[in-house]
Amino acid sequence: MVYKARLDGRKDDELRPMEAKVGVVPNAEGSAWFKIGKTWAIAAVYGPKEIFPRFLANPKKGVLRCHYTMMPFSGSGERIRPGSSRRAQEISMVMSDSLAPVVDLSAFPNAVVDVFVELPQTDAGTRCAAISAAAMALAHAGIPMKDMVSAVAVGRVDDRVVADLDYREEHIGEFNPDSKGAPVADTPVAVLHATGQLTLLQMDGEVSKETLLKSLEMGKKAAAKIYEVQVKALKEKYLPRE
């Protein structure tokens, strides 16, 4: 093992500092921002409204549509090219698939709910921050939901299983010469609070079955911490202060 301690001094299961707030975009039906470390996602919900083009309409229930965008100078790595990209389209689809199981749009046939997420600053874990922010924004908009979705990245750096990888850990060889060549596996997960079910499981890298199971267990515990931050932000919006 060459990666003996995390670069920022965190424990293996420790998340970066988190902040969250709802009601941050005045003209949206619902909105929220979620920060974890230097990664910051802002989500805004519009709808239910008439869907265009009309062939996308579902006569039985409404359609959930997500849009993910990183601002040009938001990244820790190279400058992000403005406009849509294959990566943004893929993450937009991942967001929709992660949120769809808890969003009940049966009362809104032939309509659409659009969720726009912008990231003005990023340091890894962007799709997870986007999902967590979007879930809060949907709740703030009053969209019927069966549960809250909380997302976090877990994985392996060398032989360590860690939660909430940052950019330096994802590119460990560039920032820690002693760890050059150390294997890295990044596993984003989205978790339902009430049941512990996963609505997202992706992987970039290779791990053993035992490491994957350990990562998933760590991911569920980490998601529970994110859930507490999400719920606190919603309560602060609606419950009177003592």
195-209: pLDDT as tens digits: 999 999 999 888 899
pTM here is 0.93
Which pLDDT belongs to residue 16? 97
CA atoms within 13 A on the CB side of 62: 22
DSSP one-letter string for 27-96: TSSEEEEEEETTEEEEEEEEEEEE-SSGGG--SSS-EEEEEEEE-TT--SSSPPPSS--HHHHHHHHHHH
Q: Which of 221, 225, 161, 150 is nearest to 187 (CA)?
A: 161
Q: Which of 232, 162, 152, 156 is nearest to 198 (CA)?
A: 152
**Options 3.30.360.10, 3.40.50.720, 3.30.230.70, 3.20.20.10; CATH of 18-233:** 3.30.230.70
Low-confidence stretches of the chain (pLDDT beneath 50): none
Q: Where along the chain do its domains lie?
A: 18-233
